[in-house]
């Protein structure tokens, strides 16, 4: 995604990545935020000041720039948009899953109550089985 220069191409790549992220939003968003984004930020920092990086960081492949500002607009804006979209989707999915779990629990309780009502109704009706009309 960060290899594009034109905003139209970048935002189209964001759309494609966002679509792919729907497959496993939790793990992919966490990977984006915990692995990819820090690596890109450290890579950007190393391009401007290589001595400031901790050992073991900055070995990822990122589009090079002579000034080290490959995360400036429009690339940085596209990356920020992808991060915000993915975090928002992840929160929405978790909230929906929690409310769906609550609904499922309430539905289970309702089924138990309907079953109990049906048993009681059956017992009540059986008291009148000996009557003939």
Whole-number pLDDT of residue 67 = 46
Q: Where are the alpha helices (DSSP H) in 1-133?
A: 7-21, 25-31, 37-48, 75-126
Is the link from the previous residue into 74 a cis peptide, with omega within 30 of 0?
yes
3-state secondary structure of 33: helix
Whole-number pLDDT of residue 20 = 94
Q: Are 9 and 40 in contact (CB under 8 A)?
A: no
Q: Per residue of the chain (133 residues), what is the pLDDT tens digit? A: 778 888 899 999 999 999 999 999 999 999 999 999 999 888 877 766 655 555 444 444 444 544 456 677 788 889 999 999 999 999 999 888 888 887 788 888 888 888 888 888 888 888 777 766 5
Q: Give the span between the Cα atoms of 111 and 113, in whole angstroms.
A: 5
Q: Give the span between the Cα atoms of 99 and 80, in whole angstroms.
A: 29
Q: Give the span between the Cα atoms of 3 and 1, in whole angstroms.
A: 5
């Amino acid at each position: 995604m960060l290899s594009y220069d034109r905003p139209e191409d970048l935002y189209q790549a964001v759309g494609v990545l966002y679509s792919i992220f729907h497959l496993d939003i939790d793990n992919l968003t966490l990977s984006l935020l915990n692995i990819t984004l820090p690596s890109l930020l450290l890579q950007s920092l190393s391009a401007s000041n290589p001595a400031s990086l901790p050992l073991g960081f900055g070995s990822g492949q990122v589009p090079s720039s002579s000034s080290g500002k490959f995360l400036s607009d429009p690339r940085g804006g596209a990356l920020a948009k992808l991060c915000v979209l993915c975090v928002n989707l992840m929160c929405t999915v978790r909230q929906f899953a929690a409310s769906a779990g609550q609904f499922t629990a309430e539905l289970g309780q309702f089924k138990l109550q309907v079953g109990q009502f049906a048993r009681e109704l059956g017992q009540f009706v059986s008291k009148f089985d000996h009557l003939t009309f």
